[in-house]
Chain A
Amino acid sequence: MKRRGRRFPIGVVTACCALGLQAGVPRCAGVLARALDADAAWTLERVVPGLESPLVSTGVVSCCAGSGIVWRVDAPFFSEVCMLGDAMVFSDEDGVRRKAAKDLPQYDRIRKQTDAFLAGDAHAFDGAFDLRACDTVDGWTLTLTPTVGAMKRLFTQVELAGDKRLERVTLKTADGGESRICFFEKAQGAHELWKGARP
């Protein structure tokens, strides 16, 4: 479950970015495309029903167009997820584990849909989300509501917001919880976490 729980939001974010890119929203189109080839620091804050304080973790994400995404957690513990074209690699204090894409049907499907969308298929995600975009004083907001049961189990709404950069992604869950990811772009095209050999 933990792997499925990880790959879904990462894929959703990617999908949402790609979707927004082609959705005809001029202000966020370039921003989202840029995000898919940038390095950024992130802070994840989870508001969980029943917990008094939110769960906060920090880390770095490094996107490399054509290669994949590396999502590294620095605090409160180390772990890393590398999303490649044909596999997902999980690294933490328990070791390194590789899962082939064919063994991760959801991952493989989302990745293909994303690739198709980025390649110009504007309808690749049709039936997966209801999309609503609007401009705000501070920038733009893109709201996606999942219509598919698998997505709906995990979250009820995803909201992307930013200005010149993708700044926030907010996921709301059915149990009333909320997860906020704040991005701080560090470099464009640096691919910092891609340097060196990747398993």
Chain B
Amino acid sequence: MTGRGRMWARALAPLALSALVAGLLLSRPVHVQTSLYDLVGDMASTVPASVRNRSNDRASVVVSAKSENAALSAADAFVAALPADLGAAVRHKDDGAAFAEMRTFYASHGSGVVSSADAERLKTPEGRAKIARAAIRRHFSVPVTLFTPVQDPFGLLAGFAASLPTSVMGWSPRKDGVLVAERDGETHVLVSFTLPPSVSGDMDALERFASGLRAARNAAAREGVRFAASGVPLHAAETASRCRREIGWLGVFSMLFIACLGLWAFRTWKVVVWFALSLANAALAGFAALVLFAPSFHLIALVFGTTVLGLVIDYSFHWLLRSEADERATRRNLLVSCATTEVSLVPLACASLPALAQSAVFLGAGLVAALATVLWLYPRAWRGMWCEAGRRGRRPRPTCARGLAWGVFGIVCVALVAGLPHARFETPLAALYRPPAELAAAEAQFARLSGSDAGHGFLVTTCAAGVAETLDDMLAREARALKRRGRRFSGEASQSSQGVASLRRRHQVRQRTDAVASLVTPAERRDPLGDAALVTPAERRDPLGDVACLSRFLPPLAERTANWENVNLLYAEQGEKLRSALKLAALPAPEAPRAWDAKTLPRAIAENFLADGALVASNVPADAGADMDMSDGVVFWRPADLSCVLTAWGRQSVGLFLAAAAAMFALLLVFVRGRAVRVFAPAVVSFLVVVAALTVRGEPVNLFHMLAGFLLLGMGVDYAVFLHESRGRAVKSALCALLTSMVGFGALAFVSFPVVAAFGFALGVGLPVAFLLAWASAPRDADTAPATEHGASPLGLELAWLAYRVFGKRALNALAAAIGLCIWMFSAGARKASRGPGKAMRFARSLADKFVVMCEGPGQPCVETDGSDDAAAFVADVQAKKGVFVLSSHCGTVEVLAALGACDVTFHAWMAFAQTAVFNAFYARHAKRRRVRVHPIETFGMASAFEAGDWLDAGDCAVMAADFESATAADGSPRIAVSEGAVRFARALGHPVYFVACVRTRGSQYRAIVRKLPTETRAGLADAYRAALEAVVREHPEEWFRWMDRG
């Protein structure tokens, strides 16, 4: 096999291995969970599956219009326009049998079922007499009634039935299977669909169903008619469609960005292949691990896992952009990075929330596979393909980032102070799912027409047998749980509800989910219709809300018992009268109410509320009433409980987060030792910034923000490890990693699915903060360019220039003076060079003038000569284009010099770029003067000498500084060391040589001190230069700043 063949074999080997492993595991049946209740694991498994999504196979379309004919004709047109292959959906048709069944059910459970109005009337003798009279009238005058006089002597059941909401009583079935109701002056026609499992469980089929409804609706649309489609299948279809569309676009965008970034960094498209290889290995390994870990896993785990696999690209960037010298360090940093990320995932993998554990397993395995690919496969696969890939292109200048980072740090501090104290940890239902406005409005309308408001609940009813044993078991379990928490359990198990209630109040069990979990075991929950599962009312954590409203359909036993007592009075007072009116031999005695039997609940209740032994109450009153005693034995569970569970998990995940952080810090102490705090701090601070940002937005920190926090911790440490350990050399790879992560994760913040958006927001905010803080706190490398130059940073210069543009030159001078003052105050070197701050401030002002001169074009500055003959000769030579060589100094400005001639002569000046990189960069960005050309002294060579000769011969001028060291004599006078090379060069060109020093007089005005230097001998030239410069320094000491002082 050739070398290239071996290369491809190595490249494909891990991929093939992963695919083989995944294939073997896929031979096992794998179940992907999609229900939100599956997120909470065992807790949700206690809720019967068919109850988790109420009517999850039902969809309803309500056609509303002002007139009945319009509504009915529109409904007929809608039905006629339905596609023939509407996913085999079954139209739900009501034949009224359910209502008859309900009537029998109520009549068979004894007295006490009364409407609220009759319950009030039952309390007084006058009311009871009124009830009796109305009953007599009804029996005689109404030919047909719902209940016979024997079943319902006083019409109490009939009154109760009349008080039931529209969902049971209000819809009038028609021959063609639609239901009609009139409300609010409109006619509403209900067309219902029941979807078979093959459709309700298939997202594609659901989307076809939803699109079929939309098409039929559009075909039947007419003026004055509204269509409102609702139901879980439509929510699922809409969510699937949105997710597919959004994540599809995001995926394409992310891949394109990564490819372009790779092209920019490596100048070749081949790198995309290696990225894809690493991703594929990671995805396969992650999926295989997930299947091994859990035969059934939640879809959210898969979604999270695949999105965060973008982390593997980071490893590729770090490895491919390393330098040869850093190979060993990069390998070590990759191992540390992977280890810390894996450690951060361990608490998640051990979490009881299945989705979290599954996500952690997927990601953990994927990252290990990616690391193996990078460390083992990359070096072996393309050894020799390219070695310089990572070195092309300019390295981003760290100076800008440091300035920006410190600005971000300031914002971070403010945000932390402002936001953290008000942070909330809560996972509302809206964090899981937010329906589109149209669907939400349709649901609300349907609920209103059906007599229920938004909000659902579940009650699990059981038979009344086996109370004592179960209660004792539960109390014993509660005692054990409380003991574990260190609380004293005093009190005895009581079989009375009052005793249990007393126990509850005394021990104040707050956590709703724990209480529910501890009260009923999973085994009991799975058999809710058996005798084992029973919880007394005192065990309920929230006796209000749905329970009070469910009594509209199934009044609790206590309420019925209270009514029954008044019914007995009714019979005692009015029974004889009624008996004689009805000519009955004897009036049936009122039957004591019995506990509801879940097995015999009527279909009218079952189809709306009951499935597999659980009842779903569908209303939550705004004002929760008194504690209702339902001694039937109920356990309360509703979708809001899901929010409580997730909130509790979100709060518990804070503990997991701290554990992960501690583990990561311990690992860092092993690997980076004393730098552990510095490496770890940016990640922690970035998470706190995310919390503060959420608080500022008014959002609580939910479970999915916390999940992102784990990743943020790991990725923040990654950035810090690479930047700190490489002393800034890995900034390019870290920046590439940040950009890919930002594109991959930050874009998720714009997805309409709240879970994914929360994840994206947390990472989109936290990652750049972590990166910048890591970069700002990373130690400097000797080879890297300084972030600032004599206190001036690129950002500072730009801000100063902006201030000049806005406020003018005076403001710039004032700012420069202030900066000079700060430099003198905080720089020991500046204080050494000058006793007072005046010189530093003057220098800063002159520097500001220099920039103004450079960038403002002709007309600046205002220069006058010293009036000497040499000055006049200099000006004459320049104007005559004789080609003048100027030996200048480090005080003065070449632009001022160039203004002396007031002609089109170009001045070529050599400057030290490497040592004035910040200023030179600023100059390069803004300079407009074309008469001044600045050349780096570092590139000075033979070619420069020939070019200089050509310039001078052409009549241009050349400028070079000839002093490179300075010292102070015992008498305080300066001693200038002259550069022999500059002197020789000036003399060798054979053109007139002048000394020019431009001193600042006031404002932007300068005075040029000019001396013509003798060129007969080199020593004479040097001495004359020295003498001239020393004279200027003595005369104008405030203009002399020994930047080049090496002492």
A residues whose Cβ falls under 8 Å from a Cβ of B: 1-2, 4-6, 8-9, 44, 46, 48-53, 55-57, 73, 76-77, 79, 92-94, 102, 105-106, 108-109, 112, 127, 147-150, 152-155, 171, 173-175, 177, 179, 181
Contact = CB atoms under 8 A, between A and B. Distances in A.
B141 A44 contact: yes
B182 to A, nearest CB: 3
A53 B581 CA distance: 11
Nearest to B151: A50
Contacts of B155: 1-2
7 contacts: A1-B146, A50-B151, A73-B140, A105-B181, A147-B175, A153-B100, A173-B144
B806 interface: no
Interface residues of B, number: 43
B141 A148 contact: no
A48 B140 contact: no
B482 interface: no
Given A1-B155, A177-B148, 15 more contacts: A1-B162, A5-B145, A6-B142, A9-B144, A44-B141, A51-B148, A51-B149, A51-B583, A77-B140, A79-B141, A112-B68, A148-B173, A150-B173, A154-B144, A177-B144
Nearest to B136: A77
A132 B84 CA distance: 36
Contact of A150 (B96, B141, B142, B176): B96
Contacts of B553: none
A151 B831 CA distance: 105
A173 B144 CA distance: 7
B133 A77 contact: yes
A85 to B, nearest CB: 16
Interface in B50-103: 68, 94-96, 99-100
A73 B583 contact: no
A102 B186 CA distance: 9
B29 interface: no
Nearest to B141: A73
A48 B141 contact: no
B137 A46 contact: no
A51 B582 contact: yes
A76 B140 CA distance: 8
B140 A9 contact: no
Interface of B: 68, 94-96, 99-100, 130, 133-134, 136-146, 148-151, 155, 158-159, 161-162, 172-176, 181-183, 185, 581-585
A102 B148 contact: no
Contacts of B140: 44, 46, 55-57, 73, 76-77
A158 to B, nearest CB: 10
A77 B172 contact: no
A153 B142 contact: no
B137 A2 contact: yes
Contacts of B148: 48-51, 175, 177
Candidate in A1, A51, A94, A150 with the most chain B CB atoms within 10 angstroms: A1
Contacts of A53: 583
B581 A46 contact: no
Contacts of A102: 185
Nearest to B185: A102
A94 B130 contact: yes
Contacts of A44: 140-141, 143
B99 A153 contact: yes
A46 B95 contact: no
Contacts of B173: 148-150
A51 B587 CA distance: 10
A167 B32 CA distance: 70
A26 B823 CA distance: 117
B181 A51 contact: no
Contacts of B94: 149
B144 A2 contact: no
Q: Which are the 8 A-B pairs with shortest beta-carbon distances? A: A149-B96, A105-B182, A179-B143, A149-B173, A50-B150, A5-B142, A1-B162, A1-B158
B172 A150 contact: yes
Candidate in B137, B139, B162, B584 with the most chain A CB atoms within 10 angstroms: B137
Contacts of B134: 2, 94
Candidate in B139, B140, B144 with the most chain A CB atoms within 10 angstroms: B144
A154 B182 CA distance: 20
A179 B140 CA distance: 10
B137 A79 contact: yes
A148 B585 contact: no
